[in-house]
Amino acid sequence: MTRIHRPAPFGRGLCAMVTPFTSSGTLDLDGAQRLADRLVREGCEGLVLSGTTGESPTTSDTEKTELIRAVRAAVGGRATIVAGVGTADTRHTVELALAAEKAGADGLLAVTPYYSRPPQDAVEAHFRELADASGLPVALYDIPGRTGTRIEPETMIRLADHPRIVAVKDCAYDLLGTQKVLAETELAYYTGCDEYVLALYALGGSGYVGTVANAVPRHFRSILDAYDAGDTGEAARLQRLTVPLTELMMARGLPGSVTAKALLGRLGLPSGPVRAPLRPAGQEVTDGLLAAYEELVGSGTR
């Protein structure tokens, strides 16, 4: 079977890890270390810290740095650490990038500046300034549904000429645009949409950055493993099995940080509360998540 997907600079299967908090809402570094260790043991090749699932809008710069140091101490060289550094302010983004590099991150994930809706030349300049500032490889995070501004395919193609811009976390829901960039560049594409893990991988992507993987890391890894083994039918079956849990966790109006923490808490895994303005999932939602999780686990893979 011909392999068409790109080398994965941060590993193939990455988890967008939640940030555990204590019951009083402070950063739970011990819990973060235990969760990170479990995720890596269960098949995650990389961890994205301080992404949206990690509640980056409500964690301080100091907490972000402490989290990187703690997780690095827990996983050592067993997995890559990609630090979310995206903000609406280019200067602040650069400051976070330099702090992440010093704390031991392997790469950076930067979302398009949000709310101010910069034009494409300003988006490009923002990412170039970030990539120039540190020695770490950069993944661009394209999620216009949250930021209000996408990274247009033509902008991606131009940015691909920067030696440290190496990857994309793709949440644009534009497979045509994605294929245009794949055809024109060597950028490694990771889907950030759990329902597209197999689809993007088969089109030439490098892997995924998954939120649902907080609960079932081994199952998502098994999708890629089956595809790589040439068993595309099994890969498709495994992807379809994730639909009920993915729908409940990602497509019912609640942020993934809320639903992931609700399920992890019910499973007795480190999570803790979410920070305001987010609010915890209700009992009915949590019961549904647990039932979908148990159904998926009962399918024979986790």
56: DSSP letter:
G
Known binding residue 209? Answer is yes
Residue 134 contacts by C-beta under 8 Å, 6 or more apart in sequence? 94, 97, 98, 100, 101, 108, 164
Say how far apart CA 83 and CA 74 lie, in whole Å. Answer: 16
Residue 180 falls in the annotated catalytic set? no
* Paired residues of 191 in beta bridges: 170, 208
* Residue tagged active-site, from 64, 141, 189, 196: 141
Local structure of 208: helix, strand or coil: strand
**Closest by CA position to 148, among listed 114, 97, 175, 103:** 114
Residue 141 falls in the annotated catalytic set? yes
What is the distance in angstroms between the CA of the first residue and the CA of the last residue of the chain? Answer: 26
Query: Is 18:260 a contact under the CB 8 Å cutoff?
Result: yes
Say how far apart CA 72 and CA 74 lie, in whole Å. Answer: 5
Local structure of 191: helix, strand or coil: strand
**Closest by CA position to 178, among listed 204, 147, 158:** 204
- Write the CA distances from 74 to 70, 79, 183, 290, integer angstroms: 6, 10, 38, 27
- Residue whose pair of structure tokens reads 């895994």 in the numeric block: 269
Query: Is 191:182 a contact under the CB 8 Å cutoff?
Result: no
* Residue tagged active-site, from 64, 114, 115, 169: 169
Query: Is 85:108 a contact under the CB 8 Å cutoff?
Result: yes
- Residues at the binding site are 53, 209
Positions marked active-site: 141, 169
- Residues at the binding site for pyruvate are 53, 209
